A and B are shown apart, each in its own frame.
Chain A
Protein backbone atom coordinates (compact mmCIF):
# COMPACT_ATOMS: atom_id res chain seq x y z
CA UNK A 1 0.00 0.00 0.00
CA UNK A 2 1.49 3.37 -0.98
CA UNK A 3 0.87 6.55 0.96
CA UNK A 4 -1.93 8.00 -1.18
CA UNK A 5 -3.86 4.73 -1.00
CA UNK A 6 -3.26 4.73 2.75
CA UNK A 7 -4.72 8.22 3.23
CA UNK A 8 -7.67 7.49 0.99
CA UNK A 9 -8.59 4.52 3.13
CA UNK A 10 -7.71 6.20 6.42
CA UNK A 11 -10.01 9.16 5.64
CA UNK A 12 -13.03 6.90 5.43
CA UNK A 13 -12.74 6.15 9.16
CA UNK A 14 -14.53 9.07 10.77
CA UNK A 15 -13.45 8.38 14.33
CA UNK A 16 -9.78 8.02 13.33
CA UNK A 17 -9.84 11.38 11.55
CA UNK A 18 -11.49 13.02 14.56
CA UNK A 19 -8.92 11.43 16.89
CA UNK A 20 -5.96 12.53 14.79
CA UNK A 21 -7.32 16.08 14.34
CA UNK A 22 -7.93 16.44 18.05
CA UNK A 23 -4.40 15.31 18.86
CA UNK A 24 -2.83 17.65 16.29
CA UNK A 25 -4.86 20.64 17.51
CA UNK A 26 -4.04 19.80 21.09
CA UNK A 27 -0.32 19.55 20.31
CA UNK A 28 -0.41 22.95 18.59
CA UNK A 29 -2.28 24.48 21.52
CA UNK A 30 -0.07 23.18 24.32
CA UNK A 31 3.19 24.00 22.52
CA UNK A 32 2.28 27.35 20.91
CA UNK A 33 -0.16 29.13 23.23
CA UNK A 34 2.10 29.35 26.31
CA UNK A 35 4.93 30.80 24.20
CA UNK A 36 2.65 33.20 22.29
CA UNK A 37 0.98 34.60 25.37
CA UNK A 38 4.06 34.34 27.62
CA UNK A 39 2.26 32.29 30.21
CA UNK A 40 4.00 31.42 33.44
CA UNK A 41 2.98 28.12 35.05
CA UNK A 42 4.86 28.68 38.32
CA UNK A 43 4.29 32.35 39.20
CA UNK A 44 1.87 32.96 42.07
CA UNK A 45 -0.70 35.68 41.63
CA UNK A 46 -1.45 36.22 45.32
CA UNK A 47 -3.79 39.12 44.56
CA UNK A 48 -6.07 36.83 42.57
CA UNK A 49 -6.14 34.49 45.56
CA UNK A 50 -5.79 30.76 46.19
CA UNK A 51 -8.20 28.44 44.39
CA UNK A 52 -9.74 31.52 42.73
CA UNK A 53 -12.70 30.82 40.43
CA UNK A 54 -12.29 31.35 36.66
CA UNK A 55 -12.19 35.03 35.73
CA UNK A 56 -11.02 37.29 32.90
CA UNK A 57 -7.43 37.39 34.18
CA UNK A 58 -7.30 33.63 34.96
CA UNK A 59 -9.56 31.87 32.47
CA UNK A 60 -9.40 28.56 34.36
CA UNK A 61 -8.90 30.05 37.82
CA UNK A 62 -5.91 29.50 40.12
CA UNK A 63 -4.62 26.53 42.13
CA UNK A 64 -3.67 26.17 45.80
CA UNK A 65 -0.50 28.22 45.30
CA UNK A 66 -2.36 30.94 43.33
CA UNK A 67 -0.74 29.77 40.06
CA UNK A 68 -2.62 30.28 36.79
CA UNK A 69 -4.39 27.02 35.95
CA UNK A 70 -4.65 27.69 32.22
CA UNK A 71 -0.88 27.99 32.00
CA UNK A 72 -0.41 24.88 34.15
CA UNK A 73 -2.91 22.89 32.11
CA UNK A 74 -1.13 23.79 28.86
CA UNK A 75 2.35 23.06 30.23
CA UNK A 76 0.97 19.86 31.76
CA UNK A 77 -0.27 18.90 28.31
CA UNK A 78 3.28 19.21 26.97
CA UNK A 79 4.45 16.64 29.52
CA UNK A 80 1.56 14.25 28.86
CA UNK A 81 1.86 14.36 25.08
CA UNK A 82 5.65 14.00 25.26
CA UNK A 83 5.37 10.93 27.51
CA UNK A 84 2.58 9.52 25.34
CA UNK A 85 4.62 9.79 22.15
CA UNK A 86 8.07 8.92 23.51
CA UNK A 87 7.38 6.05 25.95
CA UNK A 88 6.02 3.61 23.32
CA UNK A 89 9.22 4.08 21.30
CA UNK A 90 11.25 2.86 24.27
CA UNK A 91 8.95 -0.17 24.47
CA UNK A 92 9.44 -0.84 20.74
CA UNK A 93 13.20 -0.35 21.04
CA UNK A 94 13.29 -3.12 23.65
CA UNK A 95 10.36 -5.28 22.60
CA UNK A 96 10.91 -5.45 18.83
CA UNK A 97 14.41 -7.02 18.84
CA UNK A 98 13.53 -9.32 21.76
CA UNK A 99 10.31 -10.47 20.10
CA UNK A 100 12.13 -11.04 16.78
CA UNK A 101 14.86 -13.06 18.50
CA UNK A 102 12.39 -15.15 20.50
CA UNK A 103 10.22 -15.94 17.49
CA UNK A 104 13.00 -16.54 14.95
CA UNK A 105 15.65 -18.41 16.94
CA UNK A 106 13.21 -20.25 19.24
CA UNK A 107 14.94 -22.58 21.73
CA UNK A 108 16.79 -20.96 24.61
CA UNK A 109 16.20 -17.37 23.47
CA UNK A 110 12.46 -18.02 23.27
CA UNK A 111 12.31 -19.58 26.73
CA UNK A 112 14.30 -16.83 28.45
CA UNK A 113 12.63 -13.88 26.71
CA UNK A 114 9.04 -15.09 26.96
CA UNK A 115 9.57 -16.21 30.55
CA UNK A 116 10.95 -12.75 31.40
CA UNK A 117 7.93 -11.08 29.82
CA UNK A 118 5.61 -13.32 31.86
CA UNK A 119 7.43 -12.32 35.03
CA UNK A 120 7.13 -8.65 34.08
CA UNK A 121 3.44 -8.97 33.33
CA UNK A 122 2.64 -10.81 36.55
CA UNK A 123 3.12 -7.75 38.73
CA UNK A 124 0.96 -4.59 38.71
CA UNK A 125 2.87 -2.07 36.62
CA UNK A 126 1.69 0.95 38.65
CA UNK A 127 3.28 -0.48 41.78
CA UNK A 128 6.49 -1.55 40.02
CA UNK A 129 6.76 1.92 38.44
CA UNK A 130 6.31 3.51 41.86
CA UNK A 131 9.13 1.39 43.25
CA UNK A 132 11.41 2.33 40.33
CA UNK A 133 10.53 6.01 40.70
CA UNK A 134 11.40 5.91 44.40
CA UNK A 135 14.95 4.95 43.34
CA UNK A 136 15.48 7.34 40.43
CA UNK A 137 14.03 10.79 40.90
CA UNK A 138 10.98 11.40 38.70
CA UNK A 139 11.23 13.79 35.72
CA UNK A 140 9.66 13.68 32.24
CA UNK A 141 12.74 11.78 31.03
CA UNK A 142 12.75 9.13 33.76
CA UNK A 143 8.96 8.75 33.48
CA UNK A 144 9.30 8.06 29.76
CA UNK A 145 12.00 5.47 30.51
CA UNK A 146 10.07 3.75 33.31
CA UNK A 147 6.74 3.65 31.45
CA UNK A 148 8.49 2.55 28.25
CA UNK A 149 10.31 -0.27 30.04
CA UNK A 150 7.08 -1.44 31.75
CA UNK A 151 5.43 -1.95 28.36
CA UNK A 152 8.13 -3.90 26.51
CA UNK A 153 6.48 -7.32 27.04
CA UNK A 154 3.35 -6.14 25.23
CA UNK A 155 5.36 -5.30 22.10
CA UNK A 156 7.61 -8.36 22.45
CA UNK A 157 4.61 -10.72 22.66
CA UNK A 158 2.94 -9.06 19.69
CA UNK A 159 6.10 -9.32 17.53
CA UNK A 160 6.79 -12.86 18.73
CA UNK A 161 3.32 -14.06 17.73
CA UNK A 162 3.61 -12.51 14.27
CA UNK A 163 7.12 -13.88 13.67
CA UNK A 164 5.96 -17.39 14.57
CA UNK A 165 3.35 -17.31 11.82
CA UNK A 166 5.63 -15.64 9.23
CA UNK A 167 8.52 -18.06 9.70
CA UNK A 168 6.29 -20.94 8.61
CA UNK A 169 5.79 -19.28 5.20
CA UNK A 170 7.43 -20.81 2.15
CA UNK A 171 9.35 -17.70 1.14
CA UNK A 172 11.34 -17.99 4.36
CA UNK A 173 12.33 -21.55 3.43
CA UNK A 174 13.27 -20.14 0.03
CA UNK A 175 15.48 -17.47 1.58
CA UNK A 176 17.18 -20.07 3.78
CA UNK A 177 17.79 -22.39 0.83
CA UNK A 178 19.56 -19.75 -1.24
CA UNK A 179 21.91 -19.20 1.70
CA UNK A 180 20.84 -15.81 3.03
CA UNK A 181 22.08 -14.98 6.51
CA UNK A 182 19.82 -14.80 9.55
CA UNK A 183 20.28 -11.04 9.64
CA UNK A 184 19.19 -10.66 6.01
CA UNK A 185 16.15 -12.86 6.53
CA UNK A 186 15.16 -11.02 9.70
CA UNK A 187 15.56 -7.55 8.27
CA UNK A 188 14.30 -8.18 4.70
CA UNK A 189 11.69 -10.92 5.02
CA UNK A 190 10.38 -10.92 8.57
CA UNK A 191 10.62 -7.34 9.83
CA UNK A 192 8.35 -5.83 7.14
CA UNK A 193 5.63 -8.30 8.13
CA UNK A 194 5.64 -7.34 11.80
CA UNK A 195 5.87 -3.58 11.37
CA UNK A 196 2.19 -2.83 10.77
CA UNK A 197 0.90 -4.40 13.98
CA UNK A 198 3.71 -2.66 15.90
CA UNK A 199 2.80 0.63 14.25
CA UNK A 200 -0.86 0.24 15.21
CA UNK A 201 0.00 -0.82 18.73
CA UNK A 202 2.14 2.31 19.24
CA UNK A 203 -1.02 4.40 19.03
CA UNK A 204 -2.78 2.24 21.62
CA UNK A 205 0.30 2.24 23.86
CA UNK A 206 0.47 6.06 23.65
CA UNK A 207 -2.92 6.29 25.31
CA UNK A 208 -1.76 3.75 27.88
CA UNK A 209 1.42 5.72 28.58
CA UNK A 210 -0.56 8.91 29.21
CA UNK A 211 -2.82 6.96 31.55
CA UNK A 212 0.22 5.63 33.44
CA UNK A 213 1.91 9.04 33.66
CA UNK A 214 -1.19 10.81 34.91
CA UNK A 215 -1.87 8.07 37.47
CA UNK A 216 1.70 8.16 38.80
CA UNK A 217 1.71 11.96 38.97
CA UNK A 218 -1.68 11.89 40.68
CA UNK A 219 -0.23 9.58 43.35
CA UNK A 220 2.73 11.91 43.81
CA UNK A 221 5.23 9.45 42.30
CA UNK A 222 5.53 11.19 38.94
CA UNK A 223 5.79 14.86 38.00
CA UNK A 224 5.74 16.95 41.18
CA UNK A 225 4.75 20.56 41.73
CA UNK A 226 5.89 23.21 40.96
CA UNK A 227 6.27 21.44 37.61
CA UNK A 228 2.87 20.87 36.04
CA UNK A 229 1.29 17.73 34.62
CA UNK A 230 -2.36 16.87 34.27
CA UNK A 231 -2.08 14.14 36.89
CA UNK A 232 -0.34 16.40 39.42
CA UNK A 233 -2.91 19.18 38.87
CA UNK A 234 -5.74 16.71 39.60
CA UNK A 235 -3.86 15.39 42.60
CA UNK A 236 -5.07 18.50 44.49
CA UNK A 237 -8.55 16.89 44.39
CA UNK A 238 -7.37 14.28 46.91
CA UNK A 239 -8.30 17.00 49.37
CA UNK A 240 -12.06 16.64 49.79
CA UNK A 241 -12.68 20.39 50.01
CA UNK A 242 -10.84 20.99 46.70
CA UNK A 243 -12.76 18.13 45.13
CA UNK A 244 -16.17 19.40 46.17
CA UNK A 245 -15.79 23.21 46.25
CA UNK A 246 -13.39 24.00 43.40
CA UNK A 247 -14.13 21.64 40.50
CA UNK A 248 -12.46 24.07 38.04
CA UNK A 249 -9.12 22.95 39.50
CA UNK A 250 -9.43 19.32 38.41
CA UNK A 251 -12.22 19.10 35.83
CA UNK A 252 -10.40 20.59 32.76
CA UNK A 253 -7.30 18.42 33.18
CA UNK A 254 -9.45 15.36 33.82
CA UNK A 255 -11.48 15.97 30.69
CA UNK A 256 -8.32 16.52 28.61
CA UNK A 257 -6.78 13.25 29.81
CA UNK A 258 -9.92 11.31 28.88
CA UNK A 259 -10.25 13.00 25.47
CA UNK A 260 -6.55 12.50 24.68
CA UNK A 261 -6.56 8.81 25.58
CA UNK A 262 -9.77 8.28 23.60
CA UNK A 263 -8.27 10.04 20.59
CA UNK A 264 -5.25 7.72 20.62
CA UNK A 265 -7.67 4.79 20.89
CA UNK A 266 -9.69 6.02 17.89
CA UNK A 267 -6.49 6.67 15.93
CA UNK A 268 -5.25 3.16 16.68
CA UNK A 269 -8.55 1.59 15.60
CA UNK A 270 -8.47 3.66 12.40
CA UNK A 271 -4.89 2.59 11.64
CA UNK A 272 -5.80 -1.03 12.25
CA UNK A 273 -8.84 -0.87 9.98
CA UNK A 274 -6.76 0.83 7.29
CA UNK A 275 -3.79 -1.53 7.39
CA UNK A 276 -5.48 -4.84 8.15
CA UNK A 277 -8.96 -5.10 9.67
CA UNK A 278 -8.29 -8.69 10.74
CA UNK A 279 -5.18 -7.80 12.70
CA UNK A 280 -5.21 -9.19 16.24
CA UNK A 281 -3.84 -6.93 18.93
Chain B
Protein backbone atom coordinates (compact mmCIF):
# COMPACT_ATOMS: atom_id res chain seq x y z
CA UNK B 1 0.00 0.00 0.00
CA UNK B 2 1.35 3.37 -0.96
CA UNK B 3 0.72 6.55 0.99
CA UNK B 4 -1.81 7.53 -1.66
CA UNK B 5 -3.76 4.27 -1.20
CA UNK B 6 -3.86 4.79 2.52
CA UNK B 7 -5.03 8.34 1.96
CA UNK B 8 -7.93 7.42 -0.36
CA UNK B 9 -9.00 4.50 1.81
CA UNK B 10 -9.04 6.60 4.94
CA UNK B 11 -10.86 9.37 3.09
CA UNK B 12 -13.60 6.88 2.28
CA UNK B 13 -13.73 5.52 5.83
CA UNK B 14 -13.82 9.05 7.17
CA UNK B 15 -16.75 10.01 4.95
CA UNK B 16 -18.75 6.94 6.04
CA UNK B 17 -18.03 7.54 9.71
CA UNK B 18 -18.66 11.26 9.25
CA UNK B 19 -22.09 10.55 7.75
CA UNK B 20 -23.15 8.74 10.91
CA UNK B 21 -21.81 11.52 13.11
CA UNK B 22 -23.47 14.19 10.99
CA UNK B 23 -26.90 12.51 11.05
CA UNK B 24 -26.82 12.24 14.83
CA UNK B 25 -25.28 15.71 15.26
CA UNK B 26 -28.20 17.23 13.33
CA UNK B 27 -30.65 16.13 16.01
CA UNK B 28 -28.47 17.65 18.72
CA UNK B 29 -28.18 20.93 16.94
CA UNK B 30 -31.86 21.21 15.92
CA UNK B 31 -33.10 20.54 19.43
CA UNK B 32 -30.55 22.94 20.88
CA UNK B 33 -31.64 25.55 18.36
CA UNK B 34 -35.30 25.57 19.34
CA UNK B 35 -35.32 24.70 23.06
CA UNK B 36 -31.71 25.46 24.07
CA UNK B 37 -31.48 21.97 25.53
CA UNK B 38 -28.47 19.69 25.21
CA UNK B 39 -30.38 16.49 24.70
CA UNK B 40 -27.93 14.02 26.14
CA UNK B 41 -30.41 11.23 25.47
CA UNK B 42 -29.99 11.77 21.75
CA UNK B 43 -27.29 9.11 21.33
CA UNK B 44 -29.66 6.57 22.87
CA UNK B 45 -32.21 7.34 20.16
CA UNK B 46 -29.57 6.23 17.67
CA UNK B 47 -29.22 3.00 19.65
CA UNK B 48 -32.99 2.49 19.93
CA UNK B 49 -33.25 3.28 16.21
CA UNK B 50 -30.76 0.52 15.48
CA UNK B 51 -32.73 -2.01 17.51
CA UNK B 52 -36.04 -0.83 16.03
CA UNK B 53 -34.59 -1.32 12.56
CA UNK B 54 -33.35 -4.78 13.57
CA UNK B 55 -36.73 -5.79 14.98
CA UNK B 56 -38.62 -4.52 11.93
CA UNK B 57 -36.20 -6.22 9.58
CA UNK B 58 -36.65 -9.56 11.34
CA UNK B 59 -40.41 -9.22 10.76
CA UNK B 60 -40.09 -7.98 7.21
CA UNK B 61 -37.15 -10.07 5.94
CA UNK B 62 -39.33 -13.11 5.07
CA UNK B 63 -41.35 -10.86 2.75
CA UNK B 64 -38.90 -8.24 1.54
CA UNK B 65 -35.61 -10.10 1.89
CA UNK B 66 -32.68 -9.13 4.09
CA UNK B 67 -31.07 -6.98 1.37
CA UNK B 68 -31.05 -3.22 0.94
CA UNK B 69 -34.77 -3.10 0.08
CA UNK B 70 -35.77 -4.76 3.33
CA UNK B 71 -33.32 -2.61 5.27
CA UNK B 72 -34.60 0.56 3.59
CA UNK B 73 -38.24 -0.19 4.48
CA UNK B 74 -37.21 -1.12 8.03
CA UNK B 75 -35.24 2.09 8.28
CA UNK B 76 -38.15 4.28 7.22
CA UNK B 77 -40.48 2.54 9.69
CA UNK B 78 -37.85 2.77 12.44
CA UNK B 79 -37.49 6.49 11.70
CA UNK B 80 -41.23 7.02 12.15
CA UNK B 81 -41.38 4.93 15.34
CA UNK B 82 -38.34 6.55 16.95
CA UNK B 83 -39.54 9.98 15.75
CA UNK B 84 -42.67 9.47 17.82
CA UNK B 85 -40.59 8.16 20.72
CA UNK B 86 -38.64 11.43 20.58
CA UNK B 87 -41.90 13.41 20.72
CA UNK B 88 -43.13 11.34 23.68
CA UNK B 89 -39.83 11.92 25.52
CA UNK B 90 -40.14 15.65 24.88
CA UNK B 91 -43.76 15.77 26.10
CA UNK B 92 -43.24 13.59 29.18
CA UNK B 93 -39.73 14.47 30.33
CA UNK B 94 -38.73 17.84 28.90
CA UNK B 95 -41.88 19.90 28.38
CA UNK B 96 -42.64 20.19 32.11
CA UNK B 97 -39.04 21.33 32.70
CA UNK B 98 -38.75 23.98 29.99
CA UNK B 99 -39.24 26.89 32.36
CA UNK B 100 -37.12 25.33 35.13
CA UNK B 101 -33.42 26.23 35.50
CA UNK B 102 -31.24 24.95 32.67
CA UNK B 103 -29.45 22.47 34.94
CA UNK B 104 -32.68 20.63 35.84
CA UNK B 105 -33.48 19.82 32.25
CA UNK B 106 -29.90 18.73 31.60
CA UNK B 107 -30.15 16.26 34.47
CA UNK B 108 -33.51 15.11 33.10
CA UNK B 109 -31.84 14.42 29.76
CA UNK B 110 -29.16 12.32 31.47
CA UNK B 111 -31.92 10.41 33.28
CA UNK B 112 -33.75 9.72 30.02
CA UNK B 113 -30.47 8.47 28.59
CA UNK B 114 -30.01 6.06 31.51
CA UNK B 115 -33.59 4.82 31.24
CA UNK B 116 -33.22 4.00 27.55
CA UNK B 117 -29.78 2.44 27.98
CA UNK B 118 -30.73 0.27 30.91
CA UNK B 119 -34.06 -0.62 29.36
CA UNK B 120 -32.19 -2.04 26.39
CA UNK B 121 -29.64 -3.69 28.68
CA UNK B 122 -32.50 -5.55 30.36
CA UNK B 123 -34.07 -6.57 27.07
CA UNK B 124 -30.83 -7.78 25.47
CA UNK B 125 -29.11 -8.97 28.67
CA UNK B 126 -26.06 -6.99 27.58
CA UNK B 127 -25.43 -9.27 24.60
CA UNK B 128 -24.34 -8.12 21.16
CA UNK B 129 -27.25 -8.69 18.76
CA UNK B 130 -26.44 -9.62 15.14
CA UNK B 131 -28.36 -7.27 12.84
CA UNK B 132 -29.29 -9.93 10.30
CA UNK B 133 -29.06 -7.92 7.13
CA UNK B 134 -27.43 -9.52 4.08
CA UNK B 135 -26.13 -6.67 2.00
CA UNK B 136 -23.54 -8.46 -0.09
CA UNK B 137 -19.94 -7.52 -0.68
CA UNK B 138 -20.08 -6.03 -4.18
CA UNK B 139 -18.49 -2.79 -5.09
CA UNK B 140 -16.42 -0.80 -7.51
CA UNK B 141 -12.66 -0.87 -7.73
CA UNK B 142 -10.95 2.38 -8.65
CA UNK B 143 -7.26 1.53 -8.90
CA UNK B 144 -6.35 0.30 -5.46
CA UNK B 145 -9.43 1.82 -3.85
CA UNK B 146 -12.42 -0.43 -3.33
CA UNK B 147 -15.73 1.30 -2.74
CA UNK B 148 -18.47 -1.10 -1.68
CA UNK B 149 -22.04 -0.57 -2.83
CA UNK B 150 -22.96 -0.49 0.84
CA UNK B 151 -20.72 2.48 1.44
CA UNK B 152 -22.18 4.28 -1.57
CA UNK B 153 -25.77 3.65 -0.53
CA UNK B 154 -25.03 4.67 3.03
CA UNK B 155 -23.35 7.94 2.12
CA UNK B 156 -26.01 8.59 -0.54
CA UNK B 157 -28.90 8.05 1.88
CA UNK B 158 -27.24 10.17 4.55
CA UNK B 159 -26.66 12.94 2.00
CA UNK B 160 -30.26 12.75 0.76
CA UNK B 161 -31.63 12.95 4.31
CA UNK B 162 -29.47 15.97 5.07
CA UNK B 163 -30.48 17.67 1.83
CA UNK B 164 -34.13 16.98 2.66
CA UNK B 165 -33.71 18.48 6.09
CA UNK B 166 -32.01 21.55 4.67
CA UNK B 167 -34.91 22.02 2.19
CA UNK B 168 -37.43 21.51 4.98
CA UNK B 169 -35.80 24.11 7.17
CA UNK B 170 -35.23 26.70 4.46
CA UNK B 171 -38.30 26.27 2.25
CA UNK B 172 -41.30 25.39 4.40
CA UNK B 173 -43.47 27.20 6.92
CA UNK B 174 -42.50 24.71 9.64
CA UNK B 175 -38.82 25.19 8.90
CA UNK B 176 -39.20 28.93 9.05
CA UNK B 177 -41.12 28.59 12.30
CA UNK B 178 -38.26 26.49 13.71
CA UNK B 179 -35.79 29.22 12.88
CA UNK B 180 -38.14 31.89 14.22
CA UNK B 181 -38.47 30.06 17.55
CA UNK B 182 -34.71 29.65 17.76
CA UNK B 183 -34.39 33.44 17.59
CA UNK B 184 -37.30 34.62 19.73
CA UNK B 185 -39.82 32.22 21.20
CA UNK B 186 -42.17 34.81 22.69
CA UNK B 187 -42.39 36.83 19.52
CA UNK B 188 -42.99 33.67 17.50
CA UNK B 189 -46.05 33.00 19.67
CA UNK B 190 -47.34 36.50 18.99
CA UNK B 191 -46.87 35.91 15.27
CA UNK B 192 -49.29 33.00 15.49
CA UNK B 193 -46.77 30.17 15.67
CA UNK B 194 -47.82 27.21 17.80
CA UNK B 195 -44.50 26.82 19.58
CA UNK B 196 -45.26 23.46 21.20
CA UNK B 197 -46.26 21.92 17.88
CA UNK B 198 -43.08 23.15 16.22
CA UNK B 199 -40.95 21.82 19.08
CA UNK B 200 -42.65 18.44 18.65
CA UNK B 201 -41.84 18.47 14.92
CA UNK B 202 -38.22 19.30 15.74
CA UNK B 203 -37.90 16.37 18.14
CA UNK B 204 -39.58 14.09 15.60
CA UNK B 205 -37.15 15.01 12.84
CA UNK B 206 -34.05 14.90 15.04
CA UNK B 207 -34.99 11.50 16.47
CA UNK B 208 -35.91 10.12 13.04
CA UNK B 209 -32.48 11.10 11.68
CA UNK B 210 -30.77 9.40 14.62
CA UNK B 211 -32.85 6.27 13.96
CA UNK B 212 -31.83 6.33 10.31
CA UNK B 213 -28.19 6.46 11.35
CA UNK B 214 -28.75 3.68 13.92
CA UNK B 215 -30.39 1.34 11.42
CA UNK B 216 -27.75 1.98 8.77
CA UNK B 217 -24.93 1.51 11.28
CA UNK B 218 -26.48 -1.78 12.40
CA UNK B 219 -26.78 -3.00 8.84
CA UNK B 220 -23.28 -1.78 7.92
CA UNK B 221 -21.32 -2.97 10.94
CA UNK B 222 -23.52 -6.06 11.45
CA UNK B 223 -24.26 -5.93 15.16
CA UNK B 224 -26.01 -3.91 17.83
CA UNK B 225 -25.26 -3.30 21.48
CA UNK B 226 -27.21 -1.49 24.18
CA UNK B 227 -24.22 0.78 24.83
CA UNK B 228 -23.59 1.75 21.20
CA UNK B 229 -25.35 5.12 21.54
CA UNK B 230 -23.19 6.46 24.33
CA UNK B 231 -19.98 7.19 22.47
CA UNK B 232 -21.64 8.29 19.24
CA UNK B 233 -23.81 10.62 21.30
CA UNK B 234 -20.70 12.27 22.68
CA UNK B 235 -19.08 12.34 19.25
CA UNK B 236 -22.15 13.85 17.65
CA UNK B 237 -22.29 16.45 20.39
CA UNK B 238 -18.63 17.19 19.66
CA UNK B 239 -19.42 17.47 15.94
CA UNK B 240 -22.31 19.84 16.64
CA UNK B 241 -20.10 22.06 18.81
CA UNK B 242 -17.26 22.04 16.26
CA UNK B 243 -19.68 23.14 13.54
CA UNK B 244 -21.39 25.65 15.80
CA UNK B 245 -24.26 24.32 17.88
CA UNK B 246 -27.63 25.44 16.56
CA UNK B 247 -26.32 25.59 13.00
CA UNK B 248 -27.57 22.85 10.66
CA UNK B 249 -24.82 23.15 8.02
CA UNK B 250 -22.42 23.34 10.97
CA UNK B 251 -23.54 19.94 12.26
CA UNK B 252 -23.01 18.36 8.83
CA UNK B 253 -19.57 19.94 8.50
CA UNK B 254 -18.61 19.07 12.08
CA UNK B 255 -19.64 15.44 11.57
CA UNK B 256 -17.61 15.13 8.42
CA UNK B 257 -14.54 16.80 9.95
CA UNK B 258 -14.71 14.51 12.95
CA UNK B 259 -15.08 11.39 10.81
CA UNK B 260 -12.12 12.32 8.62
CA UNK B 261 -10.00 13.33 11.57
CA UNK B 262 -10.55 10.03 13.31
CA UNK B 263 -9.84 7.89 10.28
CA UNK B 264 -6.72 9.83 9.32
CA UNK B 265 -5.53 10.26 12.88
CA UNK B 266 -5.25 6.50 13.38
CA UNK B 267 -2.75 6.35 10.49
CA UNK B 268 -0.17 8.57 12.13
CA UNK B 269 3.01 6.66 12.99
CA UNK B 270 2.92 5.26 16.49
CA UNK B 271 -0.77 6.02 16.91
CA UNK B 272 -3.28 3.20 16.95
CA UNK B 273 -7.03 3.19 16.49
CA UNK B 274 -7.49 3.21 20.26
CA UNK B 275 -6.42 6.87 20.09
CA UNK B 276 -9.21 8.07 17.82
CA UNK B 277 -11.42 9.28 20.64
CA UNK B 278 -8.51 11.31 21.91
CA UNK B 279 -8.42 13.15 18.58
CA UNK B 280 -12.10 13.98 18.65
CA UNK B 281 -12.16 15.33 22.14
CA UNK B 282 -8.86 17.20 21.73
CA UNK B 283 -10.40 18.99 18.77
CA UNK B 284 -13.46 19.76 20.89
CA UNK B 285 -11.24 21.38 23.50
CA UNK B 286 -9.30 23.35 20.87
CA UNK B 287 -12.52 24.62 19.29
CA UNK B 288 -13.93 25.60 22.66
CA UNK B 289 -10.74 27.50 23.47
CA UNK B 290 -10.17 29.27 20.15
CA UNK B 291 -13.63 29.55 18.57
CA UNK B 292 -16.28 28.82 21.18
CA UNK B 293 -19.11 29.56 18.75
CA UNK B 294 -17.92 26.78 16.41
CA UNK B 295 -16.92 27.01 12.77
CA UNK B 296 -20.30 28.17 11.42
CA UNK B 297 -21.96 29.33 14.63
CA UNK B 298 -22.98 32.91 15.21
CA UNK B 299 -22.25 34.62 18.51
CA UNK B 300 -25.22 34.61 20.84
CA UNK B 301 -26.77 38.05 21.19
CA UNK B 302 -28.16 38.60 24.62
CA UNK B 303 -31.21 40.83 24.63
CA UNK B 304 -31.74 43.22 27.49
Real complex partners, A and B?
Answer: no
- Measured CB to CB, the residues of A under 8 A from B are none
- Measured CB to CB, the residues of B under 8 A from A are none
